[in-house]
A and B are shown apart, each in its own frame.
Chain A
Amino acid sequence: MRSRLPRTACLLRLIALCILLSHSAAYFGLTGREPLVLLPAPFSNEAPTGKAHLKQCEQMSLTRRQKRLCRREPGLAETLRESVRLSLLECRYQFRNERWNCSMDGRGSLLKRAFKETAFLLAVSSAALTHALAKACSSGRMERCTCDDSPGIQHREAWQWGVCGDNLKYSTKFLKKFLGQKRVSKDMRAQVDIHNINAGIRAVKSGLKTTCKCHGVSGSCAVRTCWKQLPPFHDTGRLLKYRHDTAMRVLSVTNAATGETELAGPHRHSQSLRTTDLVYLEDSPSFCRPSRYSAGTGGRSCAKDTTCQSLCCGRGYNTAMRLTSMSCHCQVRWCCHVECQTCVREEEVYTCKTA
């Protein structure tokens, strides 16, 4: 347990974060544990002017300010759920071969500490929310997207004149407002969390690809328009996994000049702490045996030559022969129609021993 109690402001902020994630716990609980069984939430088909989103907002456990934002923006509730789905799927995918497989069982305890895994959870959540917000903007689900932040001019005039920003700028700004990280906290844990959340946003931004189109006279490049394209979330997830693997353990340093506490990397790493890095305070547990953080690796299936060694923590694995049916020689269409033959194959399955 942490000995130092965070100050009230930070406590509130943490609660806000934990609530956001614990809400998602409730949501995942409803939909089951396996990603494949994870059914998408029913798409609201009612007009956004209706009161459907108000009910959705009430169902979620949000802070008062977040509820207000949620009520004001009809598409937000759905986007929040979408982002949770996105982050969970990505987290499970990226950690499928790790001892901690992003299982949500011990997440409550995990979030109380400041492990590498906690850092990843925070970063992937903020990245997914940024991504989902930008996507919701471009599919028209959100009403206040760009043009909202142009000062001095009305929304409509800003659009007509042409000074609206892009969706990603908006979603980053909105996210900061939503999480309420305006004030700089002196509490170290809160600083670490904010750092990781920002690292998640930066991961989305760094994957942006600029694409251009020429449309001058006869299609020449005399007139060219460029725009930034959101990367597929897989790419962002991969980048965050890499950041998780190279995460830095940080110390709190008091800045002599300003008297404020700052995060600093350990001195053996000569490079200073970058905003893109993930940071943590405590070394992770092994996740090998059941604990309050995870269910342990017993019973996990692994690949013989590659992952079994590390995954089973040296306890060894059971080998079993199993007939698996696979689809093969498929006739597929671009959507919704797959006609496959079933091929049966005998496979060796390896599972980690529990004890």
Chain B
Amino acid sequence: MAGAIIENMSTKKLVIMGVTLLLFQALAFMVGGLIAPSPTTAVHYLATKCVDKIKHQEESKWFMPWGHDQCEKIRTFDEAVAKRIEANNIVFAIHIPMPQKEMSPWFQFMLVILQFDIAFKMYNQIEDGAMASLDVRLAYRDDTVSDWTEMAHSLELRKLSCNFTTTRTFENEGRYYECDLLPFMEIGSVAHKYYLLNIRLPVNERRKVNVGIGEIKDIRLVSIHQNGGFTKVWFAMKTFLTPSILIIMIWYWRRIMLMSRPPVLLEKVILALGISMTFINIPVEWFSIGFNWTWMLLFGDIRQGIFYSMLLSFWIIFCGEHLMDQTERNRFSVYWKQVGPIVFGSFCLFIFDMCERGVQLTNPFYSIWASDVGTELAMAFIIVAGICACLYFLFLCFMVFQVFRNISGKRTSLPAMSKARRLHYEGLIFRFKFLMLVTLTCAAMTVIFFIISQVNEGHWHWGEHTVQVNSAFFTGIYGMWNLYVFAIMFLYAPSHKRYGDERSSGQCITGDAGANSGEDIQLTTTITHVDGPTEIYKLTGKEAHE
């Protein structure tokens, strides 16, 4: 690819560009680390135990834990025993958010986790495989005085997986079981200011509903939402990145269109990569501030999925096009074996996501993990996707290995080749090695920062400043892959410089073609078949020897 900008750039310009990109990279990390708050906030809620005194339960009645018009409360269930209140008359009420606060569309999403505090009692132990069945209702309102509007009402089953770590004796009565977190609710947009949850645990002994679930002391919820500050920084970043990628993409495609030949596969794939990056970048989330679009979470997942599969396909095709064996490729269908696992794997994850977040569009309390069949199904999808990923990486590693084997094979025969052919191969090797290096660096950075953000407490104190490591991870990695796509489109675009030399280089290749017809195929199948070496390329070609 003698015509690619990367080869025609002088080392100095390449270094300048690298430094500029690094500066932007540092900026992306700093925006997240210093300006943004942590990405998400977890808020604890302790359910208030309200008493529903009306015998026939009125559907429209809502129970408020505090504030104006609050319900009749009991502190502990011992009090309920004394007052002869039945389990069916207990309503657990949770108001989201806390007093004096209000939710905002900037929070983007809210997911709620449920935890039971179950005390150990010798005569009331949790049975094996006990299921809690919850009658949950969710309501919203936008000011503190109006009536609550019901958003969702559902009867949910959750499996209690609790274990008691100490010995089961009378001595240890009253100590709590250690229970797993239960997924409870997920809403994809926080369009209202106040939310109210009413949970009942109805008992029906004949139908074995809520029997043998131990002595419940409390219900605790943890709600997780994205921080408004992080959302703003994130939106700002997207708004800035969209035009940058869009402009370079248009510039890139114009250059290809200017050429006399039709675009080859690799060029098309790079364009597709740019399009999928832009697709992620376009800040459609701005609309979630004004509209109640609950599908935004799902849409975000789909966009990310498309980008990841595009990136993976790009790597495979890039390797394939640089194989330097004497096979005609340049067609997408050649790569079905490698791209197949990607498509199948992402399809599996898409189905899984539709089963989880898709169903949550209609029932926010739905969780695929709540039922046994659902869990198995979800695990099946994830395992199949995992196998596909493994298959893909085996293919990729094998291809990279093949390329390197061919490179070392070619290198020995390089001095014997004609000048044009030699420069052509040197170009191929240089381009491949460059992308390999950049890709590995980016992947390593992603993995390293991922690990740091996982093991870390979330923020570092650095003198006066607090660095939000998790936010820095998100903005930094997001910025990095944007810069990666940007750099690829810029560096691998055809160079203007070839126009002057087109005729002479064409002659070079035609002259050379008669000598070795076997290698001729290779020369005409890569992107560069009409491009010849240029003057600057001859200067920078030395890098390829490295």
Contacts and interface: CB of A to CB of B under 8 A. Distances in A.
A257 interface: no
A218 B353 contact: yes
A162 B38 contact: yes
Contact of A140 (B37, B65, B220): B65
Chain B interface residue bracket vs A:
35 or more
A330 interface: yes
A259 B77 CA distance: 55
A335 B44 contact: no
A65 interface: no
A80 to B, nearest CB: 14
A217 B37 contact: no
Contacts of B45: 138-140
Interface string B354-392: 001000000000000000000000000010000000000
Nearest to B305: A217
A335 B90 contact: yes
Interface in B205-245: 205, 210-211, 213-216, 220, 222, 224, 227-230
B65 A336 contact: no
A143 B100 contact: yes
Given A161-B227, A163-B229, A217-B305, A334 B215 contact: yes
Interface in A285-300: none
Interface in A196-246: 211, 213, 215, 217-219, 221-227, 230, 232, 234
Contacts of B78: 40
A141 interface: yes
A160 B104 contact: yes
A162 B190 CA distance: 15
Contact of B46 (A135, A164, A211, A221): A135
Interface stretch (B174-182, B497-505, B506-514, B526-534): B174-182
A48 to B, nearest CB: 7
Contacts of B474: 223
B40 A139 contact: no
A333 B23 CA distance: 64
Contact of B87 (A213, A222, A337): A337
A226 B453 CA distance: 11
B352 interface: yes
B3 interface: no
Contacts of B37: 161-163
A125 interface: no
A227 B68 contact: no
A167 interface: yes
B463 interface: no
A5 interface: no
B41 interface: yes
B282 interface: no
A145 B98 contact: yes
A218 B72 CA distance: 41
Chain B interface, >50% SS class: mixed
B87 A223 contact: no
B79 interface: yes
Interface in B50-88: 65-70, 72-81, 84-87
Given A161-B37, A218-B352, A335 B80 contact: yes
Nearest to B174: A234
A213 B113 contact: yes
B95 interface: yes
B201 interface: yes
A68 to B, nearest CB: 19
A332 interface: yes
Contacts of A135: 46
B335 to A, nearest CB: 25
Contacts of B522: none
B86 A336 contact: yes
Contacts of A335: 77, 80, 87, 90, 201, 215-216
Interface in A132-170: 135, 137-145, 147, 155-156, 159-164, 166-167
Nearest to A330: B123
Interface string A174-189: 0000000000000000
Contact of B100 (A45, A155, A219, A337): A155
A226 B97 CA distance: 19
Nearest to A214: B454
Nearest to A141: B66
Contact of B458 (A137, A156, A221, A226): A226
A40 to B, nearest CB: 5
B181 A334 contact: no
B349 interface: yes
A224 B454 contact: yes
A33 B431 CA distance: 84
A226 B469 CA distance: 13
B99 interface: yes
Contacts of A219: 356
Contact of A40 (B76, B113, B304): B76
Nearest to B94: A140
**Of residues A145, A217, A226, A335, which shows the largest number of chain B Cβ atoms within 10 Å of its Cβ?**
A335
B100 to A, nearest CB: 5
A154 to B, nearest CB: 11
Interface string B92-131: 0001011111101010000101000100010110000000
A166 B457 CA distance: 14
Contacts of A328: 123
Nearest to A85: B75
A30 interface: no
Contacts of B98: 137, 140, 145
Contacts of A163: 37, 227, 229
B215 A167 contact: no
A147 B102 CA distance: 13
Contacts of A47: 67-70
Contacts of A161: 37, 227-229
A327 B99 contact: no
Contact of B70 (A45, A145, A227, A332): A45
A336 B81 contact: yes
Contacts of B90: 335-336
A253 interface: no
Contacts of B174: 234
B203 A333 contact: yes
Contacts of B48: 139-140
Nearest to B97: A159
Contacts of B65: 139-140
A15 interface: no
B150 interface: no
Nearest to A215: B111
B479 interface: no
B101 A159 contact: yes
A340 interface: yes
B301 interface: yes
Contacts of B301: 217-218
B74 A43 contact: yes
Contacts of A160: 104, 106, 228-229
Interface string A105-145: 00000000000000000000000000000010111111111
7 contacts: A138-B45, A139-B47, A140-B65, A224-B454, A226-B42, A334-B210, A336-B84
Closest 5 CB pairs of A and B: A162-B227, A161-B229, A227-B42, A139-B46, A138-B44
Given A40-B75, A138-B43, 11 more contacts: A45-B70, A45-B73, A145-B98, A163-B37, A213-B181, A215-B111, A218-B353, A234-B174, A334-B213, A335-B201, A336-B80
